[in-house]
């Protein structure tokens, strides 16, 4: 559905005609104005009117309707099509959620199509309307402001992930307990969230690099330094994500090594107790063979001597394993 529609004249918002065609003709005739239409999860029928009035390319329209696109920049004859993926992080559930935001830029118009609930588009529009000097740059100003807000969102989410990762790191290097299996599951789950984040931020590098150079229509030369600033922030966000991914791999390896060491220590303890149990079992087995001609069998001190021998050997083995660190 159409969320918002307005003409921006010299950086100031004015309500445009209800008919898209009249509004677009009016904006183009004035020269310093442009039309901004915002849609949220439009159906094919709802989008047909916008497509016909603005001459949008059918391939871009298909991508905008179906969503599930990777971040990209595509240049068509009469418009520029950009796909961005905002991200949000639920600290309670430890989940990264991505949504999608598509922008069509053309001669005196911007059409934004939003899928999901994580887009900062409403905040961006409100902030831009407080900065008419930015809106005077036309549709490219909208693309810059939206891109900048989404990339700043990446940095905020990366910072939250870093804080949670430090907590997870503290938990991993704590003494291994009954919840060690749950810790491994948390590491894997965290790694999946970082991977989801990378799918949103990583592919955006190439489109931002193109916007900083020449040859992209509907992006005037004075706008390129602003996109270079967004590209720098995106590089910083991607470095955050790469660092998180490497650290998670190291934490997982350290956790598995810690579990292996603990298991080896448990096996040594089990082996030590088994060795101590084997000695009295062996002696009792020998004296339980019921031969008549066995030494000490008919001596009154035979039984206590066997018990003392078993206790002494077990005590010696216990001291020996204790000194070796097995117990």
The reply to whether 122 and 211 lie within a common domain is yes
pLDDT digit string (tens) for the chain, length 327 residues: 677 888 898 888 887 666 677 778 888 888 788 999 889 888 888 888 888 888 899 999 999 998 889 999 999 988 999 999 999 988 888 889 999 999 999 989 999 999 987 777 888 988 988 988 888 888 999 999 999 999 999 999 999 998 888 888 887 777 655 555 577 788 888 888 999 999 999 999 999 999 998 889 999 888 899 999 999 999 999 999 999 888 888 888 887 777 777 777 778 788 887 877 887 777 777 666 665 666 666 667 666 777 777 788 888 877 877 777 766
- pLDDT value for 17: 61
Identify the CATH number of the domain in which residue 189 sits: 3.30.460.20
The reply to whether 199 and 135 lie within a common domain is yes
**pTM to 2 decimal places:** 0.76
CA angle at 106 for the pair 71 and 15, rounded to the nearest 5°: 110
Identify the CATH number of the domain in which residue 286 sits: 1.20.58.340
The total of structural domains in the chain comes to 2
Whole-angstrom CA distances from 86 to 2, 98, 101, 136 are 20, 6, 7, 25
Going through 41-108 in order, the beta strands assigned E by DSSP cover 72-75, 79-84, 87-90, 95-98, 100-106
The reply to whether 268 and 127 lie within a common domain is no
Show the domain range for 41.
Answer: 2-259
The reply to whether 200 and 278 lie within a common domain is no
Cα separation, 221 vs 225, in Å, equals 8
- pLDDT value for 157: 92
The reply to whether 7 and 132 lie within a common domain is yes
The reply to whether 75 and 174 lie within a common domain is yes
The reply to whether 149 and 295 lie within a common domain is no
- pLDDT value for 292: 62
Element (DSSP H or E) covering residue 174: none
The reply to whether 63 and 8 lie within a common domain is yes
The reply to whether 226 and 90 lie within a common domain is yes
Through-space distance between the first and last CA atoms of the chain, rounded to whole angstroms: 70
The reply to whether 183 and 270 lie within a common domain is no
- pLDDT value for 293: 61
The reply to whether 124 and 74 lie within a common domain is yes
- pLDDT value for 77: 87
CB 56 within 8 A of CB 50: yes
- pLDDT value for 176: 56
- 288: tokens are 């339980």
- pLDDT value for 296: 63
The reply to whether 32 and 178 lie within a common domain is yes
Q: Helix axis angle, 44-54 relative to 58-66, nearest 10°?
A: 150
Show which of 238, 259, 280 is a domain's final residue.
259
- pLDDT value for 177: 54
């Amino acid at each position: 559905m159409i969320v918002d529609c307005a003409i921006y004249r010299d950086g100031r918002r004015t309500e445009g005609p209800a008919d898209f065609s009249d509004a677009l003709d009016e904006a183009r005739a004035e020269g310093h104005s442009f039309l901004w239409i915002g849609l949220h999860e439009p159906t094919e029928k709802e989008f047909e009117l916008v497509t016909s009035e603005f001459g949008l390319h059918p391939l871009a329209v298909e991508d905008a309707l179906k969503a599930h696109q990777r971040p990209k920049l595509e240049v068509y004859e009469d418009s520029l099509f950009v796909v961005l993926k905002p991200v949000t992080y639920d600290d309670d559930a430890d989940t990264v959620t991505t949504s999608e935001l598509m922008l069509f830029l053309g001669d005196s118009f911007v059409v934004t199509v939003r899928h999901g609930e994580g887009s900062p588009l409403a905040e961006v529009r409100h902030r831009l309307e407080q900065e008419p000097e930015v809106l005077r740059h036309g549709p490219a100003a909208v693309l810059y402001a939206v891109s900048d807000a989404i990339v700043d969102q990446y940095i905020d989410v990366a910072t939250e992930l870093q804080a949670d990762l430090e907590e997870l790191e503290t938990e991993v290097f704590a003494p291994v307990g009954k919840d060690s299996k749950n810790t491994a599951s948390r590491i894997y789950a965290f790694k999946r969230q970082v991977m989801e984040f990378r799918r949103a931020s990583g592919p955006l590098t190439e489109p931002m690099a193109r916007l900083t150079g020449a040859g992209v229509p509907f992006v005037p030369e004075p706008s390129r330094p602003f996109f270079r600033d967004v590209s720098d922030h995106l590089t910083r966000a991607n470095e955050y994500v790469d660092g998180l991914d490497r650290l998670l791999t190291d934490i997982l390896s350290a956790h598995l090594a810690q579990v292996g060491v603990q298991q080896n220590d448990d096996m040594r303890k089990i082996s030590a107790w088994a060795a101590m149990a084997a000695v009295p079992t062996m002696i009792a087995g020998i004296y339980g063979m019921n031969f008549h001609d066995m030494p000490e069998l008919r001596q009154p001190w035979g039984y206590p001597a066997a018990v003392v021998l078993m206790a002494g050997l077990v005590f010696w083995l216990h001291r020996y394993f204790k000194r070796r660190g097995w117990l």
